[in-house]
Amino acid sequence: ITDMERKKYVIIMAAGSGTRMGAGRPKQFLELDGKAILQKTMEVFLNACPGISVITVLPQDFIGYWREYCLENNFVCPQILVPGGITRFHSVRNALDRVPDGALVAVHDGVRPLVSEELVRDMFREAENVQALIPVTPCVETMKVLENKDGKLVSIPGAKADRSVLYGAQTPQIFHSEILKESYAMPYDTSFTDDASVVEKYGKSLSYIVGERLNIKITTQDDLLLARAILSLKGQDYSL
Ligand code: C5P
């Protein structure tokens, strides 16, 4: 006899101000393939897991804007809208107030629209069995440990990064909701750069799955160009 499946939630993080893009609006609202990046991101989850409960975290000033956008573009998605906080940590914490214990909760960056439905489905399946599931990709470039001295990058003597043990963490990161909520009850710490780092500090062990190279976080103008290029080629056979 197997346990009942946990109910699925996704928290879509879109409360950043997007200052690195240099556009008039936060990047999650910029257009990709004729739709807001945020809509494209949400559609991956809605297609992968019909019936999933969606919580969208937005800048307070853009909650009205997003409601209007969904109406005007006939984007029908039941979603709980939550205002963000001062950092991503505070934004996630606001959203977790709306998530019950005993569920599976994915936390995903609203600016990662290229994650595949397949990875989302695979991860939700695997997350039933582990407390925290984190997608990672191996580091392909040689990493340098540097510091910025008066605008000039210089080596930190003796500091070396061994590429063979370095991986980049992506989203979605999926958790048993009671674990994530307990973890986020801790006080904020500047070392919290993703949800996994919060859960690990709380003392829980993390499980990993191989992520996707094309699941990029659209942060700069170049990323937007890359995303457009990837989308225009998707579905084409690029095997050797
Ligand atoms: O700034 P960063 O690259 O870490 O942002 C990752 C994601 O977190 C983005 O989707 C952004 O909108 C979101 N975020 C948020 N609340 C903040 C800061 C960032 O929801 N205060």
pLDDT (tens digit per residue) in 29-50: 999 999 999 999 999 999 999 9
| Structural Rg of the chain based on CA atoms | 18
CB 37 within 8 A of CB 44: no
CB 127 within 8 A of CB 104: yes
Report which protein residue has its CA nearest ligand 1's atom 4: 88
Report d(CA 29, CA 33) in Å as an integer: 12
Q: Does the Cβ of 83 fall within 6 Å of ligand 1?
A: no
240 residues of the chain, pLDDT tens digit each: 566 899 999 999 999 986 666 667 899 999 999 999 999 999 999 999 999 999 999 999 999 999 999 999 999 999 999 999 999 999 999 999 999 999 999 999 999 999 999 999 999 999 999 999 999 999 999 999 999 999 999 999 999 899 999 999 999 999 999 999 999 999 999 999 999 999 999 999 999 999 999 999 999 999 999 999 999 987 676 666
Query: Cα of 164 to ligand 1 centre, how many Å?
Result: 28
Q: Does the Cβ of 38 fall within 6 Å of ligand 1?
A: no
Q: How many CB atoms lie within 10 A of CB 229?
A: 10
Q: Does the Cβ of 110 fall within 6 Å of ligand 1?
A: yes
Q: Atom of ligand 1 at shortest distance to CA of 86?
A: 21
Which residues, other chains included, contact 215 with Cβ-Cβ below 8 Å and sequence gap of 6+? 112, 114, 115, 116, 119, 135, 170
pLDDT of residue 31: 96
Query: Cα of 141 to ligand 1 centre, how many Å?
Result: 25
Query: Cα of 104 to ligand 1 centre, how many Å?
Result: 21
Report d(CA 137, CA 139) in Å as an integer: 6
pTM for the model? 0.95
Report which protein residue has its CA nearest ligand 1's atom 14: 16
pLDDT of residue 20: 67
Query: Cα of 72 to ligand 1 centre, how many Å?
Result: 25
Task: Give the residue from 91, 180, 182, 201 showing the smallest Cα distance to 133.
Answer: 180
Query: Cα of 215 to ligand 1 centre, how many Å?
Result: 16
Report which protein residue has its CA nearest ligand 1's atom 20: 15
pLDDT, tens digit (0-9, with 9 covering 90-100), for 55-78:
999 999 999 999 999 999 999 999
Report d(CA 220, CA 184) in Å as an integer: 29
Q: Does the Cβ of 111 fall within 6 Å of ligand 1?
A: yes
- Structure token pair of residue 16: 């950043």
Query: Cα of 21 to ligand 1 centre, how many Å?
Result: 13
- Structure token pair of residue 59: 């800048």
CB 55 within 8 A of CB 9: yes
Report the first-to-last Cα separation within the chain, whole angstroms: 44
